[in-house]
Every structure is written in C-alpha cells, then in structure tokens.
Amino acid sequence: MAKIDEIKEEIGAIKTYLGFVIAFIITIGAGSAKVYIDDSSDLLLILGIIGILFLAGVFSSLVKIMHKKIKSLKDI
C-alpha cells in the first residue's frame, strides 16, 4: 500500500474513534445530568464530570494527531 493510502486509512480510523468519543461524552453527560437532577449520588456526579473531562482530553489528543497526519499528506 502506498504511503498516502496508509495515512488516509489512519485518518479514517481516527475519525471513527472521534465519533466514539463524542458518543461517550454525550452518554456520560446525559447520565450525569440525570444524576444531578435526581440529586441521587454526589459520587456518580463527580465520576461523570471526571469522565467527561478525561474524554475531552482524549478528543483533543485525537484531533491533534489527525491534524498532524493531514499536514503530513502535503509532504508526500
């Protein structure tokens, strides 16, 4: 496989991972909002917020990696 095709495949995979991360953030956000509204568990709310912040970091890392891969395409 040519180098450009390999990089394109990696970018496509990263896009898929970004979709999963966004879905997880939305799901955890909805769960945390439900816990907050019900005022049921402070621990679950804190864990949800930590999870969202962690996934936001993962998202930004993946975006940064993807942009590096895209910029490397013009060198090929």
pLDDT tens digit sequence for 5-63: 898 999 999 999 999 999 999 999 999 999 999 988 999 999 999 999 999 999 999 99
pLDDT of residue 38: 94
Let me know if residue 76 belongs to a domain: no
SS3 (DSSP) at 2: coil
Q: How many whole angstroms separate alpha carbon 4 and alpha carbon 10? A: 10
Q: Which domain holds residue 22?
A: 3-71
Which CA distances in Å does 31 have to 12, 26, 34, 45?
29, 9, 5, 8
Let me know if residue 21 belongs to a domain: yes
Let me know if residue 17 belongs to a domain: yes
Let me know if residue 63 belongs to a domain: yes
Structural domain total, the chain: 1
59, 18 in Cβ contact below 8 A?
A: yes
